[in-house]
Amino acid sequence: MPDFIKLNGTAVRTTGLYRRTIPHASGVTLAEVELVIIVRGSMANRSLKQLLSKEPIRIDIPSSTETESFVTSIENVMVGASGTGEAAAYRFDLTLRETPESAANRKAERAAVAAAAPPPPRSRTSSLLEVTEDPDEPLDLSGVTVSGDSAVWATALKQLTTPPSAKPTGPPETPLTTLERAGIEATLVNLRMDAVIDLLEISGLVRRLDVERQFMTLVKNRFVAEVTPLVGEKIAKRAERDLLG
């Protein structure tokens, strides 16, 4: 599942994506996509609602080889909210169905590409490949000689026939500690947030400087209160001093 898709040319991060096809009365097959999108803050909620209000919606779904694009309309949408203010999280459950016109256009494009493709080369049977011997007749290996020590050959054949499960393996790796896992997860979260900010900055939606200013404002207003239940007030205030300088 891709982390990001595009809706009407705007990159949107997805939490869940499920794709299926359904038949249509016109004879074409329509693509239907179910999306789960989670955004945080009232501003992001308004932006996503404005984006979804512009139907029809062109969706671009990237894959490892190509990007699949088609035009859709909204079949169903449900929105749930958790929290208040800019800390609120909004979950959008969307069902987007391809329009019959888009499906017909894609079908015509695939047919045109198939018609333009060169025909596969015809295989020719060479008389040199004809089998004249009896396939059931046992092979005569009496004239075959093997150079080298027979013990070496026996050892090599034994290694080739030994199943992989029987080969010795190294000692099992030590499981990661809770602290190590927390550090890895925190680093991954930071990298993902940097990627989101970079994409938004490239799109001209926000500036990184504005993000940093808003981050410091949230640290001043909410950091101690939200982290105190986890590490205690003393450590929370010490961390706040280190962040704010």
What is the tens place of the pLDDT at every residue in 111-128? 888 888 777 776 655 555
Evaluate if pTM is beyond 0.75.
Answer: no
Decide if pLDDT at 61 tops 60.
yes
Say if 132 falls within a structural domain: no
Q: Residue 69 falls within a domain, yes or no?
A: yes
d(CA 171, CA 16): 37
CATH number of the domain that residue 60 is part of:
2.40.30
**Could you give the CA distance from residue 225 to residue 38 in angstroms, rounded to a whole number?**
24
Mean predicted confidence (pLDDT) in 85-90: 82
**Structure-token pair, residue 25:** 């009365």
pLDDT, tens only, 9-59: 999 999 889 999 999 988 899 999 999 999 988 888 889 999 999 889 999
Please, are residues 44 and 85 in contact by the beta-carbon 8 Å criterion?
no
Asked, for residue 110, whether it belongs to a domain, the answer is no
Range of the structural domain that residue 218 is part of: 178-244
Q: What is the dihedral of CA 211, 8, 86, 213, to 10 degrees?
A: 10
Examine the fold and report which residue of 102, 135, 160 is the final residue of a domain before the chain moves on: 102
Q: Which residues contact 196 (CB under 8 A, 6 or more apart)?
A: 13
The last residue of a domain, from among 85, 102, 119: 102
| Domain count of the fold of the chain | 2
Q: Which of 73, 102, 131 is the last residue of a domain?
A: 102
Judged against a pLDDT cut of 70, whether residue 150 lies above it is answered with no
